[in-house]
Amino acid sequence: MENSPLFKSGHTACAGCGQAIAARMVIEAAGANTIIANNTGCLEVFTTKYPETAWGVPWIHSLFENSAAVASGIEAALKYLGKKENINVIAQGGDGSTADIGLQALSGMLERGHDILYVCYDNEAYMNTGVQRSGLTPFDTNTTTSPSGSQSSGNIRPKKPMPEIALAHGIPYVATASAGLPQDIQRKVKKAISIKGPKYIQIHVPCPLGWRHETDQMLPVAKLAVDCGLYPLFEYENGVLTGQKKIVPKPVEEYLKAQGRFKHLLNNPEEIKKVQDIADNNIMKYNLKAQA
Amino acid sequence: MKEFLEGSHAIAEVIKSCKPGVISAYPITPQTHIVEDLAQMVSDGQLKSQFVNVESEHSAASVVLGGSATGVRVYTATSSQGLFYMQEVVFNIAGMRLPVVMTCANRAISAPINIWNDQQDSISLRDAGWFQVYAENNQEAVDFHLIGYRLAEDKRVMLPVMVCMDGFILTHGMEAVDMPEQEKVDKFLPRYNPLYKLDPAQPVSMGLLADPDYYMETRFAIQETMKESLGYLSDISREFNSVFGRDYKDLLVEEYQLKDAEKVIVAMGSVCGTIKEAVDEQRAKGKKVGLLRIITYRPFPYARVCEALKNAAKVAVLDKAVSLGAYAPIAVEVKAAFYGKKQGPKMISSFVAGLGGRDITLETVHEIFRRLSTKEVNSDFVDLKPELLKEEYGE
């Protein structure tokens, strides 16, 4: 890929990092007239180790959990200066800083109606600190704080329904996306910034280190998550489901066996059935099945 | 023009005259009247600020951080638990060298929960990299906000300022205050024009990761700025006096009846009004007593304190906060100021009073002067109730 003036190469992301691809897609779609507030996390660390920065747009990092509030202040200042019409404001963070520690700040931002796009890069655990379980870690995932063992098959709860939580704030646009479908990310970001008000996009981003797959498997693994129904891609506009990525559902086992974090499930049909139920429920709920 | 105003309203009026672009706050007693008044001013179109109602103090501080980084003047106010809840952001604002101005309506810290005044909240954040100035009365509280913005936004400084005013005593107290006229404010406080801001025309990254090769110098730089700022305060004070006709001297300390004083109380904030009255009473009886009022607690004016107290025989430091398990916060500084000095008080005793809103009366002050006659004491609590300390609560 060519070097991007808005998200420059030379950053220190791991090989095969889904978040790096997704973040680049987001800022390239949003364009140069954008200000970003970034939570603490992998993306912050690998793009801005002093004295270098990968960002070609104004970018600020304050703390782990407050990018939504910092972005609210940026947006308010731009309004005061009469510059909001021409400038996009993006707040972004990982799944932990979005769904756990930063949920309150995000809820405040959504509820107040700021004209901000919030992007959650969901790699399904606290990867920056060494793969600890977050509120967006899937059911039965083996992480360092939800390890599988004789008494446990990993994370005991399904993912917190963040898109639905965002939707419940009555905001005009909520979407999910995947690092496996980069053009789809860009289309959704462009649509989001064309809409005034708070927007929420959650992007599934594989982490080879935490998910334990080969670094060249990032795209196939991301696509498998979508194709088996475990990561449904959809769009809600003004509270109404307006689009979903149709799939010919593959069994979840194909997705699970591609990653070390689910290895403990492979000889346990009972647990695989529970994961399949989650996928089947998504397929029904979001009407994902393609017509034959 | 002199007006008879509630302290909080006076603060809201002076903030209005500073024209902040972004105001954000979360309600906590006794800060509420300030931000309620500002919200009304915005609602009435008297103030063209963006008023952002947030879901927590953590976000209030984060919103003003974001606003300040975007290049506009900002304001927030809080108290007690609210200040503690925003502590993480408070440190962050200083580290990012953002000139935020905040009012702390000083209030006790839980547990037990207590909404009344002491100074434990702001004093506990003394290491955050913020200037801390303590007002004795509402005139000072008003003026210190103007001085605060001027100081914070000085290109040589670029650090946040916390104006501390005793909760209820000042925030809810009615006093005659000479309110600064808008033309004078505009003259004293130029438009905020930052060196760096978040602007797509000139993209910068802020808040980068600094590894062991770089981190220490950032802390050193703040430490140096703090030390240098002790002098800038005098310059700003002189300019303030030339515009508004009120002289706060070096803005570091106030000396009251110190010249020949043998016994001196060191204190901070509104209690100094009471101490001045007690000093006057004792002076009338021929007793050589005085007061050294600390105005600027961070940076701490060690040299000025030494200079002011060098001839005092006995010093009583009155803290409205404690450092549990150690010497009281202001007492530590005063004792440290004299360490290794040839000339200085023979005795520096430390007293704790007025916690959780317990009144510090004239009699309290006289009692401190009395206790200063005997042996040196440390963190000696004044006005305790013996009946509440009985063994039914113990053994």
Q: Is the pLDDT of residue A4 over 90?
A: no
Q: Are residues B183 and B114 in the same domain?
A: yes
Q: How many domains, in total, are found in chain B?
A: 2
pLDDT band at B204 (very low <50, low <70, confident <90, very high): very high
Best mutation site among B52, B62, B196 for testing chain A: the one with the most A CBs within 10 Å?
Answer: B62
Domains, chain A, ordered by start: 18-285 (3.40.50.970)
pLDDT in tens, A14-49: 999 999 999 999 999 999 999 999 999 999 999 999
The length of chain A in residues reads 292
Does residue B69 share a domain with residue B139?
yes
With respect to residue B336, please indicate whether it lies within any of the assigned structural domains.
yes
Mean pLDDT, residues A95-105: 98
**What is the structure's pLDDT at B332?**
98
Please indicate, yes or no, whether residues B240 and B264 belong to a single structural domain of this protein: no
On the question of pLDDT at A94 being above 70, the answer is yes
Q: Which domain-ending residue is among B212, B244, B276?
A: B244
Q: Provide the pLDDT confidence category of residue B1 given band limits of 50, 70 and 90.
A: confident
What are the tens digits of pLDDT across the range B306-341?
Answer: 999 999 999 999 999 999 999 999 999 999 999 999
Mean pLDDT of A112-141: 98
Same domain for B22 and B168, yes or no, is: yes
pLDDT tens, position by position, B228-264: 999 999 999 999 999 999 999 999 999 999 999 999 9
Indicate whether B50 and B198 sit together in one domain. Answer: yes
Co-location of B101 and B215 in the same domain: yes
Answer yes or no: do B235 and B259 share one domain: no
Domain boundary among B244, B276, B291: B244
Query: Chain B contact for A10, CB < 8 A?
Result: no
Q: Are residues B41 and B178 in the same domain?
A: yes
Q: Indicate whether B145 belongs to any domain.
A: yes
pLDDT over 70 percentage in chain B: 99
Q: Domain for residue B33, yes or no? A: yes
Nearest to A112 among B52, B92, B210 (CB): B52
Query: If you compute the radius of gyration of chain A from its CA atoms, what whole number of angstroms results?
Result: 18
**Do B301 and B379 sit in the same domain of this protein?**
yes
Residue B395 inside a domain? The answer is no
Instruction: Identify the pLDDT of residue B360.
Output: 98
SS (H, E, C) chain B: CEEEEEHHHHHHHHHHHHCCCEEEECCCCCCHHHHHHHHHHHHCCCCCCEEEECCCHHHHHHHHHHHHHCCCCEEEEECHHHHHHCHHHHHHHHHCCCCCEEEEEECCCCCCCCCCCCCHHHHHCCCCCCEEEECCCHHHHHHHHHHHHHHHCCCCCCCCEEEEEECCCCCCCEEEEECCCHHHHHHHCCCCCCCCCCCCCCCCEECCECCCCCHHHHHHHHHHHHHHHHHHHHHHHHHHHHHHCCCCCCCCEEEECCCCCCEEEEECCCHHHHHHHHHHHHHHCCCCEEEEEECEEECCCHHHHHHHHCCCCEEEEEECCCCCCCCCHHHHHHHHHHCCCCCCCCEEEEEECCHHHCCCCHHHHHHHHHHCCCCCCCCEECCCCHHHHCHHHCC
Asked, for residue B14, whether it belongs to a domain, the answer is yes
Q: Searching chain B, which residue's CA lies closest to the CA of residue A77?
A: B67
Residue B394 included in any domain: no
Statement to judge: residues B202 and B263 lie in one domain: no
Is the residue at B89 inside a domain?
A: yes
Task: Select from B222, B244, B266 the last residue of a domain.
Answer: B244
pLDDT reading at B392 higher than 90: no
Q: Which of A65, A74, A79 sits opposite B198 (nearest CB)?
A: A74
Rounded average pLDDT over B159-182? 98
Q: How confident is the model at residue B390 (pLDDT cuts 50, 70, 90)?
A: confident
Q: How confident is residue A292, by pLDDT bands cut at 50, 70 and 90?
A: confident
**Average pLDDT for residues A199-227, to the nearest whole number?**
98
At B343, which CATH number? 3.40.50.920
Domain that holds residue B330: 253-389
Which CATH number belongs to the domain containing residue B196 in this structure? 3.40.50.970
Q: Do A50 and B204 touch (CB under 8 A)?
A: no
Reported ipTM: the value is 0.97
pLDDT band for position B394 (cuts 50, 70, 90): low
Top residue of A62, A107, A114 to mutate, by most chain B CBs within 10 Å, is A62
Q: Examine the domain organization and report whether B85 and B165 are in the same domain.
A: yes
Residue B151 lies in a domain: yes
**Is residue A32 within 8 angstroms of chain B, CB to CB?**
yes
Q: Span B9-19, mean pLDDT?
A: 98
pLDDT at B300 over 80: yes
Percent of chain A with pLDDT over 70: 99
My answer on whether B259 and B216 are in the same domain is no
